[in-house]
Each structure stands twice: as C-alpha cells, then as structure tokens.
Amino acid sequence: MPAPPSRVPAKALVTLLLVAAFCGQAVGALRPHVPLLLAATVLSLAVEGVLYRWQRDMLSVFAKSHADITVRHVLRDLLLVVGLLRLGEQHRETLYAPLVGGLLAFYALHCAIQAVSVLVRRTRTLPFLTRNIDASALRLSPAPPLLLRRPGHRLLAFGLPATAGLLATAATDEPWCAGLGVALSLGLALTGLYDLLVRLLPGRRPAGEREALRWLDAWLAEYRPTVGLYFSGGASSAYQANMWLEPLAKLEGRPLIVLRERFMVQKIGPTDVPVLCLPKVSTLMRLEECSLQALVHPSNSGKTSQVLRIPTLKHTFVNHGESDKLSSCNPYAKAYDEVWVAGPAARERYALAEVGVEDKDVAEIGRPQLDGLAPYAGPPRGAWTTVLYAPTWEGWDGNPGNTSLVEAGENLVRALLADPAVRLLYKPHPLTGSVDPRAGAADLRVRELIRAANRGRAAGERPGDGALARLTRELDRLTTITARAGADSMERMLVQSAPEPGRAEAVARTAAAWEEAYWASLPEGGHQVVTEVRPALYACFDQADLLVSDVSSVISDFLASGKPYAVANTSGLAEDVFRKAFPTVRAATVLTPDAAGVADLLDSVRRPGKDPWAQERAELKRHLLGPDEPSSQERFGDAVRALCSAALEHRARMAERLAAEAATEIPDQRRSATPQQPAHPG
C-alpha cells in the first residue's frame, strides 16, 4: 500500500539527510576537515534517532537496500577512524591500531549477541501458550531486556560510547578519549552477552518442546475439559469470540478456550476460563486424546478445517450474530455437526439458502448474551430522547447497501441533532473503513458533526468523574494483565497464571458499577461517540430509547429489548421489496438516505400511540430470538450437554467397532500356516 502523500516528503527528507551526513563525513575524513567531520557525524546520529522514533518503516527499506543499521554504524565509525588517521602524524598510526582492534572486537561481540539472542528466543518459544493456567512447572522466566532483543537499538546504544569517544578524539586530539569510549562499548557488549548466555544454562532454560508437550497432556488429563470455544482470526475480529465468553463461563462442566494465533491470547477479553493457544496442527491434534467433547465456533476461518479433522470431537457453529446478510448462511456451515441459531428465522434462512445445512442439524438456542438486557419500559421519561446510531461496516464486498454511513450517515446525524431534545450515542462498527475508505471518511465527518453539536449545546457538568476514575482503575486492575512493556509471550504466561478465586464475580460487580458511574458522569444531554471497549454495545442498548442501524445482527440483538428501531435503506430497493428481502426490517421504520422520516420517527417514540410497529416487534422478536422462557443461557447449556452426549456416544461406538475388528482380525499366516515342502519339478 503506498504511503500517504503527507508522509512521502518526510521520508525523502530523512533519506537525503542521512546520505548528506555520510557524504559530509567522507569529505571531512578525507580532506581532513574536523568541523565538517564532527557536524556530519552528529547529524547522522540524529537522523538515526529520528528513524527509530518516528520513521520505523524506513528501516526495512534501508535493510532491503543492504544499508541496515550494522552497515551504517560500521561506515560511521570507519570514517571517523579514517579522519583520525588523516589528521594524525605518520607515527601515530600504530597508536590508533588498538582502537581499530577494539572496534572490530565490538562488532564481533554484536554479531555474537545477535546469534545468542536468536537461540534464547527459540528456547523461549513454546509449542503452545496459556492464560489462566498455572504453567510454572515449565520453568517460565522474565524475558531478556528489550535492548538485547532488538539489534538496531542495541547497536546504537552499545556503540554510542565508542562513536562519542572517536568524536572527542577528533576534536581534542587526545587518543585516550577514543580508547575510553571503545572500552565502554566493549564492556556493555560483554555484559549483554553474559546476560544472554546465562539464560542458556540447563538450570535457567525453559522446558523443551517434548517436556512442554508432556506437561500439556498432563494438564489436559487433570483439568478434563468438556466443551471449548474455538477461535481463529485477525486482530480486529476478537470481538466475535469475546461476545461468547460470558455464556461459555456460565456453562456446567469445565470449559476451555482454544486459539490458534499467538497474538490472539492478549486480544481475548477478561475471563477466568482457561485459554490454550495451539498454533501448530500437530499440537492441535493432541486434543483428540483428551476428554474434550465439543467445540463451539463463533466464526469461520481457514484454520477451522484443521480442527474439524479431529474425529472424537463434535463441532457446532454459533456465529457471532444474527442478521439477514448472506454471510449468516455461509455454505461452510455444513462442515459442522450442528448449527445453532437464535430462533425460527435463522432456521428458515438456512432452508431458503440451500447451502447444504439440513434442518435436523439446526438447533435454536436464542442469544445468551441478551438475557440481561433491560426490557422496554415505555416512552422516554426525562427531558431527553436517547438515540443510538450504530451503523455496521462496509463488508468485504463493499456493497453500498451494507452500511448507511457512506450515503446516509451524515444526513441521519444532522436530522437527529436538529431535534433539541435528542441525545445521540454514536457507536460505529470496529471494522468501519477497513475496506472502503469512503466509509472511514464518512465516520470522521459524523464525529465532527457530533463534536460541533456538543460545542453549541450548553451541557451540564460531569458530576461523577471521581467515582468513574476510581472504578476505572479498579476495573483495569482486575482485568488488565500487568506485564511490563518488554514482556514476551513466555513472560506473559508467567503473569497470566491461574486467576485468584472470586475474580470473575469481582469483575462483574465492578463492571456494573462502572457502567452506572459512566452514564452518570456524562454532561446532561451531551452527545457521545462510543468507540472504546467500555461501555459495551449492550450497555448502550439499555440507555437508548431508539436504535437507528443497518441490516445487521445489531437489529436482532436490539429486538430483545422490545424498543423501537429504524433501518436505513441504502440498498436502492423499494421499501416493500426491502422489507421482504430482509425479515429483520419487518417491524422497523425504514429511513431513506435523505433522512426525511426522522422527525416522524422521533414523534412515534415519544408517543407510543403513534407507534405502528409495537405489536409487529413483539412477534418479530419471538421469530428471531425464540421464546423468553426458558432463558437463552438455559437453552445454550442444554444444547451443549446434548452435543457432548452425542460425542461420547460416538466415541463409545467407535471403541466397540475397533474392539470388534481387533477380535476378528485374521491371524498372522506366517505363524499359523503349516510349513510346506518345496515343490520339485516333475
């Protein structure tokens, strides 16, 4: 992807300055000219600092051009030595020979440190990662200092005394300055090498791969997991798994979270459920020998096919939301043993899509995440009508009908802000702008409209800031992994050990108190852009009197509240065709891209007698999400137990079949056959 135009001049300027500095050094060394040599060397060091602080992407460009930090640093010191030799008299060449030898030794140590650093990193890379599990038996330890793991930073830091000493000698003609600088650099390099070598000693080295895998098998045998949440994806997709953490934690038995990408371990939200990351397929297959019976899949990924190969497990697809999008009926779903949906609507959707999912394999479990959602309590009671605008993203295909942001977002927001009694909550999708830059640009314009409206509104004070700050600190303490900035994955495993008893309950209590303090702290009537992890979308549902959104799972989830909602139609379809094409719109007010119906919509929210969709919403809620009783969490638990039972029955049948085959196995003919005399030719 090309660099933004505004950054191109900066990159070009940095490159020109670095080239000019080395050219100046060369001229200053060969003429020789001390002021030019000093100025050029200082300039080159300053540019190196800029590169590592603000232009890190340029480092790879220089490396590909065979001008990495080692080459640049050697060239810089070489030119200084050449300058010293040119400045000195002939007999002083022997005086500077030890300096050259010291520099060569320093660079040799730099290469040795890098080689040992690679070895240390390999010993610290286990075949799996854990979280919420006591893995101290693997001899986990803190990571080496960050400086020893970054060759560029290390060379600049360790080599700076030598370079400074050479500069001082060039300025003062005192050879001891260069000698002292080189000695300091050698001392730093030797100290760093010693630190790394000690970590390779048998008593300090973490468990090897075989030992680690034996520990993993033993832990699985001791914990005896029954059901797992399997997830694989990109960094921005973690929300798909996070929404299932609480329902998973409430299940009976011993739940487990199975991940495939190492970075995802830190992306999974706060939970006390054990987390196991198995990057390699060979390690993943060890699940076949443990007590795990079923895996719940909230999303599809390329690595899903790998775990589906384990014959002892049953798999179910739950998706990360219910919507009328085609992605909710992905043909990949037929690869699972079962597909769990919220209600009858999704069952019908799969039948109509004809993607190979049989009706007998579909189970309705509701949406466990919505069990705690506040129900509709009538029209707004205070001075403000709170409207939540939660547009979805543009989707992988960039269809203009996916998100209302591009064509209708600004019009909708302007129309809502024009009503003096509206308090707007704007919560865009986390992936907004990731495919279509127009959506990202529209999102920024909407935020500016909201900021401008807040500036023009005389909002009240923030009465709860102190309580909110205190609760934020407490919630961060309970949910944040307190690993230092330079920690590697092994060190994070060490600090992310088994959670303290009662932590989950403390997190739930503190989170509820935080949400209450957050909403109390907002200026009365002030509009809000909600983009952080907290408050969550469902907390915004509880605050809202009305939802404005697109065709997405947000609509289905909001229907659990029974509150009014509206859908922006940017598909280009006529309203009757739009409603027919997307059943979730059946009980919604449909808004056109020009937002002409916003005023009537707000009036119907404030006056329930003018709400034409109240009865339709109640019926659609049952159609999309199923009945209120039993609760979704109960239905989810029942479905898990049934799937686990099916897995155990399957294992029993397979064991019987293998036993029967072993009992009827044909005897070895080499042992049972009577020896025959060789036939003689007649």
303 — phi, psi (to 5°)? -85, -5
**pLDDT of amino acid 402:** 85
Is residue 680 pLDDT above 60, yes or no? no
Identity of the highest mean pLDDT range in 229-238, 449-458, 465-474:
229-238
Quick check: is 663 in a domain?
A: no
Q: Which of 610, 625, 640 is the last residue of a domain?
A: 625
Range from 152-161, 210-219, 303-312, 458-467 carrying the lowest mean pLDDT: 458-467
Q: For residues 6 and 337, which has the higher predicted lDDT (pLDDT)? A: 337
Q: In this structure, are 219 and 355 located in the same domain?
A: yes
Is residue 529 pLDDT above 90, yes or no? yes
Buried b (16+ CB within 10 A) or exposed e, 244-261: bbbbbeebebebbbbbbb
**pLDDT of amino acid 596:** 92
Band of pLDDT at residue 635, cut at 50, 70 and 90:
very high
**pLDDT of amino acid 2:** 45
Band of pLDDT at residue 89, cut at 50, 70 and 90:
low
Is residue 52 pLDDT above 90, yes or no? no
Q: In this structure, are 193 and 219 located in the same domain?
A: no
pTM of the model: 0.81
Q: In this structure, are 149 and 267 located in the same domain?
A: no
Residue-wise pLDDT tens digits, 125-138: 999 999 999 999 99
568 beta partners: 591
Total domains present in the chain: 3
Q: Which residue range is the domain that position 269 belongs to?
A: 210-364
**pLDDT of amino acid 250:** 94
Quick check: is 585 in a domain?
A: yes
Mean pLDDT of the chain: 88
Q: In this structure, are 220 and 196 located in the same domain?
A: no
Sheet strands side by side (includes 362-364): 129-131, 275-277, 255-259, 227-231, 294-297, 314-317, 338-341, 362-364
What does 94-156 look like in DSSP terms, one character per residue?
Answer: HHHHHHHHHHHHHHHHHHHHHHHHHHHHHHT--S-EEESS--GGG---PPPPHHHH-HHHHHH
Q: Which residue has tokens 């599809």?
A: 300
408 — phi, psi (to 5°)? -130, -10
Q: In this structure, are 66 and 177 located in the same domain?
A: yes
Quick check: is 482 in a domain?
A: no
**pLDDT of amino acid 458:** 58
Is residue 247 pLDDT above 90, yes or no? yes
- As given in the structure block, the two tokens for residue 331 are 């043909």
Quick check: is 68 in a domain?
A: yes
Quick check: is 100 in a domain?
A: yes
Q: How many C-beta atoms lie closer than 10 Å to residue 419's C-beta?
A: 15
What is the rounded average pLDDT of the residues 1-27? 75
Q: In this structure, are 194 and 217 located in the same domain?
A: no
Residue-wise pLDDT tens digits, 301-323: 889 999 999 999 999 999 877 76
**pLDDT of amino acid 4:** 45
Band of pLDDT at residue 210, cut at 50, 70 and 90:
very high
Identity of the highest mean pLDDT range in 154-158, 329-333, 449-453:
449-453
Band of pLDDT at residue 486, cut at 50, 70 and 90:
confident
**pLDDT of amino acid 113:** 95
317 beta partners: 297, 339
Is residue 80 pLDDT above 70, yes or no? yes
Q: In this structure, are 192 and 263 located in the same domain?
A: no
Q: Is 600 exposed, middle or buried (0-12, 13-18, 19+ CB in 10 A)?
A: exposed
Within 13 Å, how many C-alpha atoms sit on residue 599's CB side? 5
Q: In this structure, are 554 and 416 located in the same domain?
A: yes
What is the rounded average pLDDT of the residues 651-660? 88
Is residue 285 pLDDT above 80, yes or no? yes
Cα–Cα distance for residue pair 504/507, rounded to 1 Å: 5
Q: Which of 577, 602, 625 is the last residue of a domain?
A: 625
Question: Pairing between strand 338-341 and 275-277?
Answer: unpaired
What is the rounded average pLDDT of the residues 651-661? 88
Residue-wise pLDDT tens digits, 353-398: 888 889 999 999 999 999 989 889 889 988 999 999 999 988 876 6
The radius of gyration computed from the CA coordinates of the chain, to the nearest angstrom, equals: 33
Quick check: is 664 in a domain?
A: no
Q: Which of 334, 364, 394 is the last residue of a domain?
A: 364
Residue 405 gets which letter from DSSP? I
Quick check: is 12 in a domain?
A: yes
CATH number at residue 389: 3.40.50.2000
Q: In this structure, are 172 and 229 located in the same domain?
A: no
Quick check: is 682 in a domain?
A: no
**pLDDT of amino acid 57:** 81
**pLDDT of amino acid 279:** 96
Residue-wise pLDDT tens digits, 577-588: 999 888 889 999
Max distance between CA atoms of the chain, in angstroms, equals 119
- Answer for the pair 364, 344: CB distance below 8 angstroms, yes or no: yes
- As given in the structure block, the two tokens for residue 209 are 């791969």
DSSP alpha helix (H) spans, 457-573: 465-479, 489-495, 503-521, 537-543, 553-559
Band of pLDDT at residue 620, cut at 50, 70 and 90:
very high
Band of pLDDT at residue 214, cut at 50, 70 and 90:
very high
What is the rounded average pLDDT of the residues 231-246? 90
Range from 66-75, 199-208, 446-455, 624-633 carrying the lowest mean pLDDT: 66-75
Cα–Cα distance for residue pair 544/541, rounded to 1 Å: 5
CATH number at residue 257: 3.40.50.11720
Q: In this structure, are 258 and 402 located in the same domain?
A: no
**pLDDT of amino acid 239:** 86
**pLDDT of amino acid 91:** 58
Q: In this structure, are 359 and 399 located in the same domain?
A: no
- As given in the structure block, the two tokens for residue 346 are 């999704």
Q: In this structure, are 245 and 196 located in the same domain?
A: no
